[in-house]
Amino acid sequence: MKRTIVAATALMSVMSTSAFALEIGATISRFDDNWLTVMRNGMTEHADSLDGVELQMEDATDDLAKQIDQVKNFVASGVDAIIVNIVDTSAGAAVTEAAGDVPLVFVNREPDNVNELPPTQAFVASNEIESGTLSAFQICNNLRADGKAGGARGYLMNGQLSNQAAVQRSKDVHDVIGMDMCNFMTLIDEQTANWSRDEAQDLMTNWMSSGEPFDFVLANNDEMAIGAIQAMKAGGMDMADVQVGGVDASQDALVAMQSGDYDVTVFQDAFGQGAGSVDTAIALTKGEDVDQKVYIPFVLVTPANMADFLDKN
């Protein structure tokens, strides 16, 4: 009888230290992205602030096959939930299948199967219909204020075309240009620079080499906008003569805005999305009712209110 009591006590001790430990596996499309680094920090810091939550994070290095293997490995290792910042948004069904019955949260990048997710899965991000629309519409207003409502020409830089956010943000731009009050804006060209500052600088340099005059540059994110600004400044352009808009409100973007080089960005709460994905993953493991689309609002950022965002992303 005594041995039974001792064994039961030992079992209860083990349960008290481990039963409430929650293990979450996270796979991020790429670690070397500045904005996603802030999002990862949001996940890590929030998980660290919670008792009994352990977060294991993997870098998918922009390799979808690798990411799916990471999800399968998380399942095999017995994690309680998985968070995925998907490499290719057209592969949502494959990631959903790989997770099986393990609760899964897609974060930041909207998978193509977002409207068919099972009850054990959810999506945490910001509504991309707002992002490109806010940026492009403000650029439209700025151009009108600059007296260019009679006609303005410019360029559009797309993110990775396999990414839903890039597709939606570019569609937002076209939709704004199609509005009566903004149809004076004409796109000379649009090409992808894959979210990259370096690629955007090269692309902008190529566009400038044509000698075509232009009034604005719109980019799907800040990194590409900054690359475009670097190319324009290297080419001797006066940044007061061109309107530049992007998305994210990264710290580098706000520095460029403080310098008078950058006109419009849109705050996307990287830290908040990261923390929100952890909270949603925990709620799913507990069987709680969770909205399958958890949206964190975008906010327009201009020189007038940029001070409010200097300590954010």
Q: Is residue 125's pLDDT more than 70?
A: yes
Mean pLDDT of the chain: 92
HSE (CB half, 13 Å, CA atoms) of 41? 12
Residue 34 CA to residue 253 CA, distance in Å, equals 11
> What mean pLDDT comes out for the span 71-76?
98
Question: In whole angstroms, what is the distance from residue 90 CA to residue 147 CA?
Answer: 42
Whether 124 shows a pLDDT value over 60: the answer reads: yes
Quick one: DSSP state of residue 290?
-
Q: Which residue has the tokens 């597709």?
A: 167
pLDDT at 34: 86
Task: Report the pLDDT value the prediction gives residue 15, as an integer from 0 to 100.
Answer: 34
Mean pLDDT of 176-204: 98
What is the percent of the chain where pLDDT is above 90? 88
Lowest-pLDDT range of 8-17, 168-177, 199-208:
8-17
Say if residues 220 and 166 touch (Cβ distance below 8 Å): yes
- Model pLDDT for residues 213-256, shown as the tens digit of each residue: 999 999 999 999 999 999 999 999 999 999 999 999 999 999 99
Query: pLDDT-derived band of residue 20, with 50, 70 and 90 as boundaries?
Result: low
| pLDDT higher than threshold 70 for residue 27 | yes
Report whether pLDDT(140) > 90. Answer: yes
> For the chain, first and last CA: distance in Å?
60
Dump pLDDT digits (tens) for 154-172.
Answer: 999 999 998 889 999 999 9
Residue 4 has pLDDT above 80, yes or no: no
Q: How far apart are CA 151 and CA 254, in angstroms?
A: 28
Calpha distance 180→183 (Å, rounded): 5
Question: What pLDDT sits at residue 164?
Answer: 87
Q: Is the pLDDT of residue 123 over 50?
A: yes
Q: What is the pLDDT at residue 7? A: 27
pLDDT band for 313, please (50, 70, 90 cuts): confident
Cα–Cα distance measured from residue 264 to residue 266, given in angstroms and rounded to the nearest whole number: 7
Report the helix count and the strand count for the chain, using DSSP H and E: 10, 12
pLDDT at 286: 95
CB 121 within 8 A of CB 92: no
pLDDT computed for residue 6 by the predictor: 27
Of the candidates 269, 278, 296, 291, the one whose C-alpha atom is nearest the C-alpha of residue 122 is: 291
pLDDT at 282: 98
Q: Please give the average per-residue pLDDT across 260-279, as a whole number.
A: 96
User: So what's the pLDDT on residue 235?
Assistant: 97
What is the separation of C-alpha 104 from the centre of its chain, rounded to a whole number of angstroms? Answer: 18
**pLDDT on residue 61:** 97
Helix axes 251-258, 222-234, angle to 10 degrees: 40
pLDDT at residue 71 is higher than 70: yes
pLDDT at residue 279, as a whole number = 97
- Is 54 a residue whose pLDDT tops 90? yes
User: For residue 201, is pLDDT > 70?
Assistant: yes
Describe the strand order of the beta sheet including 185-192 as a list of residue ranges.
185-192, 152-158, 216-219, 243-245
For position 162, what pLDDT does the model report? 85
